[in-house]
Structure 1
Amino acid sequence: MRETLTRMKQQDGYDFIVIDGAPRMTDLARAAIIISDLVVMPMQASGFDLWATDELKSMIEEAKIYKPEIINAVLLNRVVPNTNLAKDVLADMQENGWTFFDTVIGQRQNFANAATQGLTVFEVPNSKAAQDEILFMVDEILKLKD
């Protein structure tokens, strides 16, 4: 995997390569983490996601023994704003020293509609709020990489 990604960056001229992997596939997740410069951990505001992300965070900490420059941050996704659950999950992450994005991706019908049509929210009418959330996330990621 490392050789393929190195070739893609050097020969094909890619600045960024996104690996979307399931955190539960331990061997694959470890391999993806160790070759990554940045690990974005999407997480819903739920106890289940908090536990699953905690396991992924442990894998990242192990990888940092060999590659300490790995940057990792939690991205809250599908958040219903102004709910106690979202506030509680955010408070728990802060108490436990997690790094997280300022950007929060809301629970918006536009995301589901776009995916159902095989589109992005940038191709769906009346989805400015969803588009803005994605653009804010991209800006934050680019700032982390500077």
Structure 2
Amino acid sequence: MIVALLNQKGGVGKTTLALHLAGEWARQGKRVTLIDADPQGSALDWSQQRARENLSRLFTVVGLPRDTLHREAPELARGVDHLVIDGPPRVAGLMRSALLAADLALIPVQPSPFDGWASAEMLALLGEARIYRPQLAARFVLNRYAARTVIAHETVETLADHDPPALSATIGQRIAFADAAQTGRLVYELADDTPAAREIVALAAEVGRIAP
């Protein structure tokens, strides 16, 4: 299964969610490779920080910010259970290639009208990709979600009848994600039974049920 986390807008949490999805599946004993397709290389930086901290490698991280990704990803997917792509912001060629490679596109959005406007470009690219890959599945993922805020409720209502729909699993605004990233860790490695760790477990489970 190839899962790509994509959005034209930067700063929506693609890398955080990609790393934690890969980490959760690895924790379950799955064989996982993560492709860092973002020229900024944040997932690679995380992996290098993990090595400096002398932490065990949970999964392989490969830098591949090229628009030939759709041709190279199937080879990387052989021999693993999950291939996770951390996509780039604002690089249409790379994003098209990631969409053509993926079985499932996850679109992280924050409860904000600005994220909604940026997602329109993403949906246009998704529509283009489905011309060639009509079986491509897609879902929004609500990230940094504060359930009690008005904007959060408005965002949920907006996405309720949307195509693609939003996942039921949401990820809250948690300082644990920033704390983990600084040391090359994942939230479950800081503390296993926390809201952040439970949210990632729920996200991985729901994604696993959707993808072919």
State whether structure 2 residue 120 is matched by structure 1 residue 120: no
Distance 2:196 2:99 in 1: 28
User: Offset at 1:79?
Assistant: 0.9
Distance 2:162 2:71 in 1: 35
Describe how 1:1-146 pairs up with structure 2 within 5 A: 1-10=69-78, 13-125=79-191, 128-146=194-212
Secondary structure, aligned partner of 1:17: strand
* Letter in structure 2 aligned against 1:143: R
User: Offset at 1:67?
Assistant: 0.6
Question: Per-residue CA shift, 1:20-40, capped at 9, x if unaligned?
Answer: 112421111011001110000
* Letter in structure 1 aligned against 2:157: A
The TM-score, its normalising length taken from structure 2, stands at: 0.64
Bigger relative contact order (CA 8 A; separation at least 6):
2
Distance 1:134 1:7 in 2: 27
User: Offset at 1:95?
Assistant: 4.1
User: Offset at 1:127?
Assistant: 5.5
User: Offset at 1:94?
Assistant: 2.0
CA 1:108–1:2: 2 relative to 1, 3 Å: same
Distance 1:144 1:97 in 2: 15
Unaligned stretches of 5+ residues in structure 2: 1-68
User: Offset at 1:114?
Assistant: 1.0
Q: Is 1:23–1:56's contact at 8 Å kept on the other side of the alignment?
A: no
Secondary structure, aligned partner of 2:203: helix
Q: Is 2:71–2:101's contact at 8 Å kept on the other side of the alignment?
A: no
CA 1:69–1:41: 2 relative to 1, 3 Å: same
Secondary structure, aligned partner of 2:171: strand
72-81 or 94-103: bigger deviation: 94-103
Structure (1 or 2) with the greater helix fraction: 1
Tell me how many residue pairs correspond in the alignment.
144
Unaligned stretches of 5+ residues in structure 1: none
Q: C-alpha root-mean-square deviation of aligned residues, in Å?
A: 1.5
Distance 2:71 2:96 in 1: 16
82-91 or 49-58: bigger deviation: 49-58
